[in-house]
Amino acid sequence: MKRLYTILTLLFLALSPVFSQVTLKVQAPSQAEVGQRIRISYVANTQDIEDFQVGSFEGFNVLYGPSTSRSSSFSMTNGRTTQSSSVTFTYTVVPIKEGTLQIPAATIMVEGKAVKSDAPDMEVLPASDYQDPQSSNQQQGGNSRQQDQQQDRSAGGQINGKDLYMTVTANRKKIYEQEAVMLTYKLYTLVNIQQISGEMPQIDGCHVQELDRAAQMSLKYERVNGRNYGTAVWKQYVIFPQKTGKITIPSITFETQVEVQNHSMDPFDIFFGGGSLSQMVRKEITTPAVEIDVMPLPTPKPDNFSGAVGKFSVSATLTPEQVNANDAATLRLVVSGQGNMKLMKAPAIRFPQDFEVYDPKENNKTSNTATGSKGTITYDYVIVPRHGGKFSIPPVEFCYFDPEQERYNTVKTDSFSLAVAKAKGHQATYTREQEDLNVLSNDIRFIKLGELTSEEKDDFFGTTNYWLTYLLFLAAFFVAFLWFRHQQKHNSNSWNAKGKKAGKVASRRLKQASKLLRQKDDAAFYDEVMRALLGYAGDKLSLPTNELNKDNVIATLSSRGVEQNVIDAFIAVLSDCEFARYAPTGDPNMAKEKIYQQASDVITQMNASLKSKK
């Protein structure tokens, strides 16, 4: 009986963590607009639910729900099987008033215990004043006007500057030289954007750093002139002007791909696989230029000014504090703060004259922020004292300009004392002109006195050994020449072999891309398609990897006589794959299938064109 009680206790302890880990989470958008149909889901990580209750949806009109869906998964790792399951309760609702509405909490009963969800808030914007004429006959109350505006634009319709645009703002318009200014490029859209591409051009007299941002763009609603735009910060750059005066940040043209409704397609063609309800349209967005006034740093500049602009502090350590002559010590200087840290110079340190000093080793641990680089830069100075004694290293001074205080500040470390013992063994000497002269008693030998004899003259020239050495070098030259010719021929044959197998290799890569397409691995799919295209071009055109880029491919294809339309199609597919890496959240399967088919077609066309030009 006691044994049975022990087994039941252990079983209960093993199962109790499972019960305590039951959760009920809410999945709902954080923003919506009045009249927009949305889904609110309550997800439980177990199917052993005895009861489900939800509070009142105040401020919402419930159209449908709850609909229940269940899912289970099994996995085996190293012979151990794990199982997970979930139940989702989904409501379809429509907000009927603007403001901040609370999504009601839900409660489930599991093994007689109640598990309650959170009750998050949702920001509800007023309904957009604009309504697309094609959506005027839609049913009211159950359709999202914002979705109608995005989905019901025809392919022939004009996407104007009020439907899709991008703004640029500078956090400051008047700054000092070397001071950081941040530019923010923000997207406003009423249409369904799939891809965006565009980069900041080179700016004369400026150092530019791009702030890291998430790979996936998340849109947030923002009301502008009576319309609810999907907005997102697309790019942010920090710029450090290197000259004074008026600096113009040029406009940037971003190229986008917009998914629009294709109303011209015949429904029967769509049903039998002859078309699509939507198609991709290219649209360019041009941002305005920005002018910044750059003021010069105040003069006169201090002699110890490091070129740093921002806010900084310094600290230093000396390791060890006692050494022998000719042994090394390290003075570590750490500069912390924020500003133009990647552009400043290493501080100058006044070491004793007898010290041999090496160039500092720099360790940069900074990250880009809106106010410039932030973090620490460590400078390690390796020093070698050449004489015994006690030496003093004066405080290290670091002078920087603070743009907020509009003045130069100097921070300094403590001074250091270094005790140097005499070198072990023979006494060492050191001068500036003879850095490598050490331990003289070992280096200098007695001079042998006496008359010169004939044994000391050089009689190697013309001997048998001389001619044997000459012939050996000559034979080595011919061997090297023959090896070089062999390598040239081998490399030529290798490129020819690669060119013949280029089509087969590209076909294998496209098959792998097809598998990734079915597995819905978007990033791997686009990478594999690009490898197939560039790999084919490199093998077929005998281009090494370090020269494999769009410009070289275009130039080589043109020199081979390939038709311009084939070249344009090849570059277009590569561009589409690059655009897809910046696609917002979504699953445009039709776009991926289209890219896959275009890649296969363009390789076939290029292969036929290259064969015909031989």
Residues 295-354 pLDDT 10s:
999 999 998 898 999 999 999 999 998 999 889 999 999 999 999 988 888 888 889 888
Instruction: For the chain, state the CA radius of gyration.
Output: 37
Domain count of the chain?
A: 4
Q: Are residues 156 and 279 in the same domain?
A: yes
Question: For position 70, which CATH number holds?
Answer: 2.60.40.740
* The Cα angle at residue 52 between residues 49 and 53, in degrees rounded to 5: 160
Q: Are residues 498 and 593 in the same domain?
A: yes
Whether the per-residue pLDDT at 362 is higher than 60: the answer is yes
Q: Are residues 154 and 281 in the same domain?
A: yes
Q: Are residues 177 and 153 in the same domain?
A: yes
Q: What pairs with residue 102 in β-bridges?
A: 121
Read off the pLDDT of each residue in 236-257 and give the average, rounded to a whole number.
Answer: 90
333: nearest Cα among 320, 349, 322 = 349
Question: How far apart are alpha carbons 520 and 587 in whole angstroms?
Answer: 8
**9 domain residue, yes or no:** no
Whether the per-residue pLDDT at 163 is higher than 90: the answer is no
Number of Cβ within a 10 Å radius of residue 71: 11
Read off the pLDDT of each residue in 573-587 and give the average, rounded to a whole number.
Answer: 65
Question: How far apart are alpha carbons 219 and 515 in whole angstroms?
Answer: 30
Q: What pairs with residue 286 in β-bridges?
A: 253
Q: How confident is the model at residue 434 (pLDDT cuts 50, 70, 90)?
A: very low
Q: Are residues 211 and 286 in the same domain?
A: yes
Question: How far apart are alpha carbons 83 and 74 in whole angstroms?
Answer: 5
Q: Are residues 530 and 554 in the same domain?
A: yes
**451 domain residue, yes or no:** no
Question: For position 359, which CATH number holds?
Answer: 2.60.40.1510
Whether the per-residue pLDDT at 206 is higher than 50: the answer is yes
pTM value?
0.52
**584 domain residue, yes or no:** yes
Instruction: Annotate 23-82 with three-state secondary structure.
Output: CEEEECCCEEECCCCEEEEEEECCCCCCEEEECCCCCEEEEEEEEEEEEEEEEEECCEEE
Residue 462 falls in which region: left (phi positive, over 0), alpha (psi -120 to 50) or beta: left
**280 domain residue, yes or no:** yes
Q: What percent of the chain has pLDDT over 70?
A: 76
Question: For position 577, which CATH number holds?
Answer: 1.20.120
Distances (CA, A) of 1 to 4, 7, 10: 5, 10, 14
Residues 582-597 pLDDT 10s:
554 445 566 778 888 8
Q: Are residues 506 and 375 in the same domain?
A: no
**392 domain residue, yes or no:** yes
Number of Cβ within a 10 Å radius of residue 264: 10
Instruction: Give the residue from 273, 295, 317 where a domain finishes.
Output: 295
**12 domain residue, yes or no:** no
> Quick check: helix, strand or coil at residue 160?
coil
Q: What is the pLDDT of residue 532?
A: 82
Residues 269-298 pLDDT 10s:
545 555 556 678 888 888 989 999 999 999
**246 domain residue, yes or no:** yes
DSSP symbols for 517-568: HHTT-HHHHHHHHHHHHHHHHHHHHT--GGG-SHHHHHHHHHHTT--HHHHH
Give the strand pairing for 51-54 and 31-33: unpaired
Domain that holds residue 262: 138-295
Size of the chain in residues: 614
Q: Are residues 285 and 150 in the same domain?
A: yes
Instruction: Give the residue from 295, 328, 360 where a domain finishes.
Output: 295
Task: Specify the DSSP class assigned to residue 135.
Answer: G
Q: What is the pLDDT of residue 18?
A: 44
CB 333 within 8 A of CB 413: yes
| Mean pLDDT, the chain, whole residue set | 78
Read off the pLDDT of each residue in 235-242 and give the average, rounded to a whole number.
Answer: 90
Q: Are residues 323 and 271 in the same domain?
A: no
Q: Are residues 258 and 315 in the same domain?
A: no
Residues 4-59 pLDDT 10s:
555 555 554 444 444 448 888 999 888 888 888 889 999 998 888 888 989 889 98
Instruction: Give the residue from 421, 438, 461 where a domain finishes.
Output: 421
Q: Are residues 259 and 142 in the same domain?
A: yes
Question: How far apart are alpha carbons 202 and 249 in whole angstroms?
Answer: 10
Read off the pLDDT of each residue in 452-473 and give the average, rounded to a whole number.
Answer: 69
Q: Are residues 179 and 285 in the same domain?
A: yes
**458 domain residue, yes or no:** no
Number of Cβ within a 10 Å radius of residue 204: 9
Token pair 């097809």 is found at 514
Query: Under 8 Å CB-to-CB from 385, ≥6 apart: which residues?
Result: 323, 325, 326, 327, 329, 352, 354, 355, 356, 391, 418, 420
